[in-house]
């Protein structure tokens, strides 16, 4: 690595995350547009201006909310084109939209309190990873919202990397494509990506946690929607007429296993079937499920179980109508990456050269890389340092983000020699 580090690098990482996190970019599952919220464009337009200002080329913001840019190669030989991706949206439904980032400099192990919620406390006893960060600069929100380091930390690291590479042309690397995506949190954005604009042979999503994480195995995922249509009636004259859709939905819930196959009863490589939202009236009720498993067979079994329960409950109320529709979401990236592990192997080599021990836990979730890999662009997931995501207790170490960026610099050098 040919440039000298200074405190300015940490300052840049800190400044970018604080600025980006303060912009509301919640996605909205109920929206029919792409991106699902106009607020995501606010951050994308800012990033576009900053990329243009630092000298990136081919900077393009699409109507569907994807931002692309190129860091030109500094080597003359033809090398694989590598893309770096992060999503700009944050998950909805957790606190308000006015994110107020707070920086806790040179953290010394004390409990971190949140001024907007006196009941929240972040401490090493409850977050063991935090105990390893003594002396680091820790960024949290104020307690009324999540921080949004998922995935603005990834955005931050890629932007800082782009700035460093464009400022230091002596670093040898091939062409690097940058892509910031919308609506990852609701699983719909990446479906609209233009691969002709991405123009990459391999890619990495910057959407991982602990230092050293390089993930090439994720859940496979389906979504299920169960619509229960009853028979409506005036309650005063309902005997023999009313079929209550809410009661039938409750029966479906009660019939499904409660002591297994749920998120709260599974871990490791165990899959689950999760009812996460239910809405409706006695006349009609809609139930929303997610199905998760590392193996195709397990995922299919979760779907068969749900359909079987719906059919059984339907038989108990023949005047009702119960429809179960299962929609594919994404598949375990391992199915494709195991055929060409170069993006993982080179990332492991880069980490070890910098004294970081690689870890590759199977992730009980998915990333944009899950769908990208299925589309033909092998895309493992790379660490950023984000912790306690989707929670007001979310936090990240500036020094962890720096490690991510430095490993990426070395990784781009290795790709230039691949």
- The two three-digit tokens of residue 291, written as one number: 């199905």
Q: Which of 12, 14, 28, 89 is catalytic?
A: 89
Alpha helices by DSSP H, 95-231 = 128-131, 149-167, 195-198
CB under 8 Å to 309, separation ≥6 — which residues?
252, 255, 256
Distance between CA atoms of residues 61 and 41, nearest Å: 9
- Taking a C-beta distance cutoff of 8 angstroms, is the pair 411, 350 a contact? yes
For residue 355, how far is the Cα from the chain centroid?
27
Name beta bridge partners: 214: 382
Distance between CA atoms of residues 302 and 291, nearest Å: 7
Q: Give the closest residue to 193 by CA, choosing from 382, 372, 331, 329.
A: 372
Q: Which of 184, 213, 222, 293 is catalytic?
A: 184
- Taking a C-beta distance cutoff of 8 angstroms, is the pair 200, 81 a contact? yes
Residue 213 annotated as catalytic? no
- The two three-digit tokens of residue 382, written as one number: 């790379």
Residue 307: how many other CB atoms lie within 10 Å: 16
CB under 8 Å to 307, separation ≥6 — which residues?
324, 326
- Do β-strands 176-181 and 138-140 pair in parallel, antiparallel, or remain unpaired? unpaired
Find the length of the chain: 418
Cis peptide leading into residue 338 (ω within 30°): no
Q: How far apart are the first and last CA of the chain?
A: 17
Residue 89 annotated as catalytic? yes
* Planar angle of CA 42, 15, 349, nearest 5 degrees: 100
Positions annotated as catalytic residues are 89, 184
């Amino acid at each position: 690595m040919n440039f000298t580090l200074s405190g300015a690098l940490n300052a840049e990482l800190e400044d970018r995350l604080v600025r980006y996190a303060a912009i509301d970019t919640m996605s909205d599952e109920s929206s029919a547009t792409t991106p699902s919220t106009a607020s995501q464009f606010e951050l994308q337009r800012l990033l576009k201006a900053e990329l243009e200002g630092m000298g990136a080329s081919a900077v393009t913001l699409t109507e569907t909310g994807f931002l692309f840019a190129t860091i030109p190669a500094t080597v003359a030989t033809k090398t694989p084109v590598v893309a770096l991706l992060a999503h700009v949206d944050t998950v909805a439904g957790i606190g308000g939209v006015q994110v107020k980032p707070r920086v806790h400099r040179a953290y010394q192990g004390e409990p971190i309190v949140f001024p907007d919620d006196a009941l929240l406390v972040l401490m090493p006893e409850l977050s063991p990873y935090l105990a390893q960060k003594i002396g680091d600069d820790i960024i949290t929100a104020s307690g009324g919202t999540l921080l949004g380091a998922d995935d603005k930390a990834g955005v931050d690291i890629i932007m800082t990397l782009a700035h460093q590479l464009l400022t230091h042309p002596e670093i040898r690397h091939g062409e690097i494509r940058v892509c910031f995506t919308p609506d990852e949190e609701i699983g719909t954005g990446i479906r609209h990506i233009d691969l002709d604009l991405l123009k990459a042979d391999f890619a990495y999503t910057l959407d991982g946690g602990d230092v050293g994480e390089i993930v090439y195995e994720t859940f496979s995922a389906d979504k299920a929607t169960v619509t229960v249509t009853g028979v409506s009636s005036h309650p005063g004259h309902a005997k023999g007429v009313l079929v209550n859709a809410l009661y039938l939905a409750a029966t479906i819930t009660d019939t499904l296993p409660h002591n297994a196959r749920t998120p709260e009863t599974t871990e490791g490589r165990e899959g689950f079937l999760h009812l996460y939202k239910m809405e409706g009236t006695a006349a009609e009720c809609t139930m929303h499920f997610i199905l998760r498993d590392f193996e195709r067979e397990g995922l299919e079994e979760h779907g068969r179980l749900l359909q079987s329960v719906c059919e059984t409950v339907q038989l108990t109320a023949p005047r009702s109508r119960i429809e179960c529709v299962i929609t594919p979401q994404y598949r375990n990236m391992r199915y494709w990456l195991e055929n060409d592990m170069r993006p993982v192997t080179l990332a492991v080599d880069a980490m070890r050269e910098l004294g970081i021990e690689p870890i590759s836990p199977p992730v009980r979730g998915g990333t944009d890389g899950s769908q990208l890999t299925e589309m033909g662009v092998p895309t493992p997931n790379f660490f950023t340092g984000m912790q306690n995501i989707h929670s007001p207790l979310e936090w990240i170490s500036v020094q962890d983000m720096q490690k991510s960026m430095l490993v990426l610099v070395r990784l781009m050098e290795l790709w230039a020699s691949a």
